Amino acid sequence: MLCVWVVYLQLLLNSYLRQRRSSILITRGAGTGLKARCLITNMSQEPVYVTSLIAELQTDQDKSEIQLTDMRELSEDLGMDPRSAMRQGSLERGRYLDIGHFDALIEQLANDAPNIERKTDIKAVEMTVVALYGPEELPVGAKRRFTVDWQADENTRITPNTVVTQQIHKNSERRRLMQELERFL
């Protein structure tokens, strides 16, 4: 009888912890080329607040990290969805944030990276989302790497390296995210 209750309690505990865990997806939508959109979706049970987006650019020789949030001055009119223009904000369960075409993102990142001369030097882009989730003190996050396969014609492809988005849940990784955010302040 005790074994049955222990198993039942374990199932309840695992179910509760799974519901309390954040889940953020970083996906490519509306195509596979440079005009594909980069989407961030909240699949958690509760809302998340996206505080920062960090892109790591990889070339043949070097890597550069650039923060996509607070990167540029915005006009007074932020359009229909100010969260997409600012690349931050609250996301309810099941909602997504469209941060733009990969082409525009890569162009902007290449212009702001000091060691990248042309955008075609970029071989991969790793997107990291940093978000606040419920009563958690440390930020949560997710990351996904996309390979850029440059073609001479308009057939350049953006391909995710993994099927799923890597979630950042371990306390050590979350502390590192906090340090990265402090570095970009």
Alpha helical stretches, state H, 87-170: 102-112
Give the separation between CA 185 and CA 180, rounded to whole angstroms. 9
Number of domains comprising the chain: 1
Question: pLDDT tens for residues 66-103?
Answer: 777 755 554 554 455 555 555 677 788 888 888 888 88
- Is residue 113 domain-resident? yes
Q: Is residue 12 part of a domain?
A: no
Question: What is the reported pLDDT for 151?
Answer: 79
pLDDT at 103: 81
| Distance, CA of 67 to CA of 56 (rounded, Å) | 9
Q: Has residue 167 been placed in a domain?
A: yes
- The pLDDT, as a whole number, for residue 125 is 85
Q: What is the per-residue pLDDT for 84?
A: 52
Q: What is the number of helices (H) and of strands (E) in the chain?
A: 4, 10
Measured CA to CA, the distance from residue 113 to residue 104 in angstroms comes to: 14
Q: Could you tell me if residue 14 is inside a domain?
A: no
* Range(s) of the domain holding residue 81: 22-184
**Domain contains 84:** yes
Task: Give the list of residues 6+ apart from residue 90 with CB closer than 8 angstroms, or none.
Answer: 47, 48, 49, 50, 83
Which residues on neighbouring strands pair with residue 25, listed in sequence order?
A: 41
Low-confidence ranges of the chain (pLDDT < 70): 70-87, 116-117, 153, 184-185
CB 98 within 8 A of CB 84: yes
Q: Which of 143, 135, 163, 179 is nearest to 21 (CA)?
A: 135
What is the reported pLDDT for 100? 82
CA distance 58 to 126: 8
